[in-house]
Amino acid sequence: MHLRFQILVSGVKTSADASPDLRLSLSEEYSRSVNFSDGEIFLKLRQCANKPNKDAGTIFAEKRMWGRLSPDKRKDLRQILSHELILAGLDSLRILPALFSGFRIAHILMPLKCPEVSFQVLSQIFDLTPV
């Protein structure tokens, strides 16, 4: 599918000037099947966060993904992102995106107040997956 559109975002004037990230973000946003799961949103946000040089497309994609979350899910995701151990465990599983198909952003892990236990469980999942 070839998308032709003109855009004006941060000085980008035509589709030819748009970065691949910006084109992908716009096509995802304006396609007809735009129901992202929590897992897809998490993976996309982590992909954006790990980019060393963020261009307009990356920033646009990141803001759009945050905007797809309810206020409660945004709060819960910020809590998950603030726990380095839990985040490291989830990041180690990103090599298997299918594991995130049933991932729900919720405050289930946070009340445990034991990120070490959560990290250990995530590590065991990683150890069990054939890579």
- Residue pLDDT, tens place only, 63-97: 989 999 999 999 989 988 888 888 888 898 898 88
Structure confidence at residue 7 (pLDDT): 46
Structure confidence at residue 38 (pLDDT): 92
The SS3 assignment for 9 reads strand
Give the Cα separation of 48 and 60 in Å (integer): 10
User: Where are the domains positioned within the chain?
Assistant: 15-128
Give the Cα separation of 97 and 91 in Å (integer): 10
In 3D space, the residue among 3, 102, 105, 1 whose CA is nearest the CA of residue 46 turns out to be 105
pLDDT in tens, 10-53: 444 445 667 776 777 666 666 655 688 999 999 999 998 888 88
Comparison of pLDDT for 7 and 54, the residue scoring more: 54
Cβ neighbourhood burial of 52 (10 Å; 0-12, 13-18, 19+)? exposed
Residue 75 corresponds to which tokens in the numbers above? 């709060």
pLDDT in tens, 110-129: 555 666 777 777 777 777 76
Residue type, 11: G
Give the Cα separation of 101 and 39 in Å (integer): 6
Structure confidence at residue 69 (pLDDT): 92
Supply the pTM of this predicted model: 0.69
Give the Cα separation of 62 and 44 in Å (integer): 7
